[in-house]
Amino acid sequence: MGRKAKDYSWPAAPPALPSPVIDNHTHLESLGDVLREGVPLPSISEVISDAARVGVSKMIQVGCDLESARVTDSMIREHAALAGAIAIHPNEAPLHTHTADVGPDGLEPRYESRHDTSLDDALAEIERIARSNNKIRAIGETGIDLFRAGEQGFLAQKESFRAHIALAKELNLAMQIHDRDAHQEVIDVLLADGAPERTVFHCFSGDAEMADLAAQHGWYLSFAGPVTFGANNELREALRRTPTSHVLVETDAPYLTPHPYRGRPNAPYLMPYTVHTIAHVQELNLVDACQRIVENTHTVYGLW
Ligand SMILES: [Zn+2]
């Protein structure tokens, strides 16, 4: 007999957490992008109420291309549980400068109509939205992605990253960093330009040494599904050494679904798995872990 077909449906909801917690990085406008045929797409209100039912009470919605930033602007006005982060993603920057090249992932650049806008104009639009909506609490995700870029692309990413750092400082907003295969490059830019006061490594992927460096500089580390994966002992060691005051949690939904549902779609209601791992590694009881994370989240992004 053949093997059982792979399951791409929504996982069952986990038991509710004993205390509310906040997902500081999710892409609710993109949930439909990962769903196979026949798998239902929940409305934003349903996503929020499913999350609330298991204790994930609030979220930072991240819109990191020109279109998603505009969608984020209106989505967070509509839903009390949401605040927002907006930016031009490092993988978008070289498309806006028309210098995109092929990185180690081997994918050809794919230009869309939004990339007709220059990087300067795109950044001006991010600034306009951020200034006009007080629920935008962070500039992000910005940074460097050396999996998706070659030498030319890297230059555009770096230019864009520096502009985002300046914008976060100018507007006194937090900043969320995307760092893929680019730890040293990201750190170099942060140290050269000076990091914004509240700087968060979204989906932190560094080792213990990098976590120590982040702690020295007061940077926050946000942990996502990968911290639950069996093989990621090095990442858990980094988490273990991170001061509890600088730990955040996220889903990065619809990507990075936590264990035991890797490969299936992700949404904020699945974040309790990651919270359990954080509590365990940080040697906190679950209530303390949730409360500390909420405190940290409010320190970084303010109340909403
Ligand atoms: Zn993300």
Task: List the CATH number of the domain containing 129.
Answer: 3.20.20.140
Supply 25's token pair. Answer: 């990085």
Q: What is the pLDDT of residue 3?
A: 64
Is residue 180 one of the residues assigned to a domain? yes
10 assigned to some structural domain: no
* Cα–Cα distance measured from residue 24 to residue 8, given in angstroms and rounded to the nearest whole number: 25
- Ligand 1 centre and the CA of 32: distance in Å? 15
Q: Report residue 156 as tokens.
A: 């555009």
Residue at 6 is within a domain: no
pLDDT digits (tens, 9 = 90+) for 52-88: 999 999 999 999 999 999 999 999 999 999 999 999 9
What tokens were used for 247? 């730990």
* C-alpha 192 – ligand 1 centre gap (Å): 25
**Which secondary structure element, helix H or strand E, spans residue 248, and what is its range?**
strand 247-249
In a domain, 8, yes or no: no
Residue 9 within any structural domain of the chain: no
Distance from residue 239's CA to the centre of ligand 1 (Å): 19
* Domain-located, residue 14: no
| Residue 201, domain extent | 21-301
What pLDDT shows up at residue 5? 75
- Of the candidates 43, 8, 47, the one whose C-alpha atom is nearest the C-alpha of residue 271 is 47
- Domain assignment present for 166: yes
Q: Is residue 185 domain-resident?
A: yes
Separation CA 144–CA 125 (nearest Å): 21
Q: Tell me how far apart the alpha carbons of residues 283 and 240 are, in angstroms, rounded to a whole number.
A: 8
How many residues would you count in the chain? 304
Instruction: Give residue 1 CA to ligand 1 midpoint distance, Å.
Output: 40
> How many Å lie between the centroid of ligand 1 and the Cα of residue 51?
18
- Give the number of domains in the chain: 1
pTM of the model: 0.96
Please state whether beta strands 220-223 and 247-249 pair in parallel, antiparallel, or not at all (unpaired).
Answer: parallel
Instruction: Write b or e for each residue in 156-183: b if 16 or more Cβ atoms lie within 10 A of its Cβ, otherwise e.
Output: bbbebbebbbebbbeeebbbbbbbbebb
Q: What spacing in Å lies between the alpha carbon of 2 and ligand 1's midpoint?
A: 36
Of 84, 64, 63, nearest in space to 138 by CA:
84
Distance from the CA of 25 to the center of ligand 1, in angstroms? 6
Residues of the chain with pLDDT under 50: 1
The answer to whether residues 212 and 238 touch, using CB atoms and an 8 Å cutoff, is no
Output the CA 209–ligand 1 centroid distance in Å. 23
| Residues 165 and 193 sit within 8 Å (Cβ to Cβ) | yes
The pLDDT of residue 6 is 85
- DSSP 8-state code for residue 144: E
What's the gap in Å between 292 CA and the centre of ligand 1? Answer: 22
Distance from Cα 284 to the centre of ligand 1, integer Å: 27
Tell me the CA–centroid distance for residue 84 and ligand 1, in Å: 12
